[in-house]
Amino acid sequence: MELQSLIYLFVGASFALYIGIAIWAKAGSTSDFYVAGGGVSPVANGMATAADWMSAASFISLAGIVSLLGRDSGAYLMGWTGGYVLLAMLLAPYLRKFGKFTVPDFVGDRYYSDVARTVAVICVIFVSFTYVAGQMRGVGIVFSRFLQVDINTGVILGMGIVFVYAVLGGMKGITYTQVAQYCVLIVAYTIPAIFLSLQVTGDFLPQIGFGGTIEFAFDNGVREIPAGTYVLHALDQSFKDLGFSIPYTEGRAGVWDTFLLTVALMCGTAGLPHVIVRFFTVPRVRDARISAGWALLFIALLYTVCPAVGAFGRLNVIKNLQNNDYATWTQECTADQRAEVDAMIAQGIDTARMPCRGQWFATWENSGLIGWMDKNGDGKIQVANGAAFEGKPTFDGDARGPSGERVLTNTPLPAPAGQAIENEVYVDRDIIVLANPEIAALPNWVIALIAAGGLAAALSTAAGLLLVISSSISHDLLGRVMFKDPETGRSKLTDGQELMAARIAAACAIGVAGYLGINPPGFVAQVVAFAFGLAAASFFPVIINGVFDKRMNKEGAIAGMLVGLSVTFIYIVLNVFVDKSGTFKVFSIEATGIGTIGMVIHFIVAYVVSRATAEPPQEIQEMVESIRIPRGAGAATAH
């Protein structure tokens, strides 16, 4: 079948599955809508958490980031997984025992204060919206790349799908669609990675192949790298030969920066509301603990494969491109050539540099993610350290150069002084995942699977975030603050009214997220630091204190949240937005690591203020005693 039809088939089938699940799992009560009725098995919740957690960026861009940063990317890999250890030990079991619907619920009840509750609601909404804007954009980009529709049409299609299962099914619908989405995305990610590993190293598992040896000798442009060399040694040697100042396996970032960034990402992960609420959906405290383990297992399946994919991708760029003749490499295959290539692959011979095997290069050049400028006019591609030209590729319409390449209008940049080989190629980092099936000569259905996987990753994360936004509005803001009965302290809304409010809030949130996806604020990349930094400086410490420090009172908690948030917020604004060059620094702290400092300040301020003011009421201290003990965790309730 033709590629485009296969993509429509795979994406269409996966969407039909998600909508089918949503109809089957329609929410009947607020408990269904907010916490899926509290009856999700720990394994299913683990899968749903993994899908919730891994976004379009994890799926499409992370391997590219890893291959670009080399060892420094360890901060992201550790930060985005290590947070689950904190969740399992310090947060999830006690919040499950507490047994309410949302994070602001915990903050408001534990600190017996609607001010604390409202601060928490504002944080949830801010953190989740900054995060969701990027997701809707991701949906649009995946649609536009694979289904050849305009990005905005893609965003609207994505909104439609999320609308159906988030508004209809609430947490119950989202949980079971996320389980399906996890299966789609992990299969789509690992199949090409396994073939790539087999092709590069002969090892089946990418995690093993990562430390394995290369099957085929290649010429990196300066020297021949013999077969049997370790993948990472081949990369380090080639980096040295091609003028890169730092080998792939060495770090550029300072120890202090890496440390602060890793802490901020770990504590931010553990403090992100859309991750925390997933642990409200399991039946018992012990399920919450083990469920964090399952979640990390399912996440690790992608996160341990990812750095291998990044290294193989970087190696392939050098091995397959260096001094390869553009015109013959990227030409259309004749039937005879195709048969010859297939036969050679079947015999285990490396064909990656052969004529007509580089069509993927031309394909992604057509979509603008690759650019080649034949600066020395030899018709061959050269790869080396340094940018080939200024900025991202801009093309001169459909004009073609002497070798058939797209003509670039960018200003060429010279190679750094003393470097023999001049880089001629721009490769977008997303290529490392997107072009894998083509580089590995896999059948078309694998490419279709990647399209479905990328969409699954983006949709699942968007849905989880939208649900958190809607529940904090309908449950916390409307139910617990605005329509609170002052005498009983309970909501004046009936369960049915609150459910309707939750659905309306979800629909509005999707509208806003879609708007942000179509008109992205110019700082989407920077706001990630915001989301993690703010979560690390607010929710993480306030929940830890609520569980582990019985003496913590509302004064301490509110002061801690406000000071922690302000420090983080103001620092990022000054560093990223006011002073755009990023030179504003105190003690040379990067904006990405400031969440850690905000968190430490939060802990200190909260401790000092709480000890200087009255201790919390007796019933609150008893509540803390009770959440520490597993027995008696009923289903999550509204009141």
Alpha-carbon distance of 206 to 195, in angstroms, equals: 9
CB of 361 to another protein, least distance (A): 28
Residue 55 binding another protein, by CB under 8 A: no
Which residue lies nearer to another protein by CB, 143 or 279?
A: 279
485 by Cβ neighbours in 10 Å (0-12 / 13-18 / 19+) ranks as: exposed
Whose tokens are 């058939």? That residue is 404
Between 156 and 296, CB nearer to another protein = 296
Confirm or reject binding of residue 144 to another protein (CB under 8 A): no
Q: Which is nearer to another protein, 125 or 292 (CB)?
A: 292
Residue 273 · residue 128 · CB < 8 Å:
yes
Start-to-end C-alpha separation, the chain: 56
309 binds another protein (CB under 8 A): no
460 touches another protein (CB under 8 A): no
Task: State yes or no: residue 507 binds another protein (CB under 8 A).
Answer: no
Span 155-214, contacts to another protein by CB under 8 A: 207, 210-213
> Binding of another protein at residue 331 (CB under 8 A)?
no
x/- letters, 235..254, toward another protein (CB under 8 A): --------------xxx---
Asked whether position 221 contacts another protein by CB under 8 A, the answer is: no
- DSSP assignment, residue 422? P
Candidates 307, 514, 598, 616; binder of another protein (CB under 8 A) is 307
Contact window for another protein (CB under 8 A) among 155-163, 270-278, 405-413, 629-637: 629-637
Kindly tell me which of 74 and 520 has the beta carbon lying closer to another protein: 74
The contact pattern for another protein, residues 428-457, with x = CB under 8 A and - = no contact, is: ------------------------------
Provide the residue type at 235 as one letter.
L
Report whether 544 contacts 90 (CB < 8 A): yes
User: What span, in angstroms and rounded, lies between the C-alpha atoms of 203 and 210?
Assistant: 9
Distance CA 550, CA 569 (A): 28
Task: Outline where DSSP puts E strands in 243-365.
Answer: 324-325
Q: In the window 254-293, what residues touch another protein (CB under 8 A)?
A: 255, 258-259, 262-263, 284-286, 289-290, 292-293
> Which H/E stretch holds residue 461?
helix 444-471
Strand, coil or helix: 3: helix
Q: Where are the beta strands (DSSP E) in 68-175?
A: none
CB nearer to another protein: pick between 179 and 305: 305
Instruction: Among 377, 397, 418, 632, indicate the residue that binds another protein (CB under 8 A).
Output: 632
- Angle (nearest 5°) at CA 425 between 421 and 431: 135
Rounded to a whole number of angstroms, the minimum distance from the CB of residue 17 to another protein is 29
312 or 569, CB closer to another protein?
312
Q: Interface with another protein by CB under 8 A: which range of 160-168, 300-308, 375-383, 595-603?
A: 300-308
Burial 390-414 (b: 16+ CB within 10 A, else e): eeebebeeeeebebebbebebeebe
Q: Among the candidate windows 163-171, 231-239, 326-334, 562-570, which touches another protein by CB under 8 A?
A: 231-239
Range in contact with another protein (rule: CB under 8 A) among 84-92, 134-142, 391-399, 446-454: 84-92
β-pairing verdict for 425-427 and 370-372 = antiparallel
Contact of 571 with 594, CB cutoff 8 Å: yes
How many residues are given for the chain?
A: 639
Q: Kindly report the number of other CB atoms within 10 A of residue 219's CB atom.
A: 13
**Count of residues interacting with another protein (CB under 8 A):** 52
Q: Which of 296, 315, 354, 384 binds another protein (CB under 8 A)?
A: 296
Q: Which residue's entry shows tokens 């997303």?
A: 430
What's the chain's Rg over C-alpha atoms?
26
Q: Which residues pair with 219 in a beta bridge?
A: 224
Q: Indicate whether 75 belongs to the interface with another protein (CB under 8 A).
A: yes
Please report whether residue 303 would count as binding another protein according to CB under 8 A: yes
With respect to another protein, which residue has the nearer C-beta, 51 or 381? 51
Residues forming contacts to another protein in the complex (CB under 8 A) are 66, 71, 73-75, 77-78, 81-82, 84-85, 88-90, 93, 207, 210-213, 230-233, 249-251, 255, 258-259, 262-263, 284-286, 289-290, 292-293, 296-297, 300, 303-304, 307, 625, 628-633
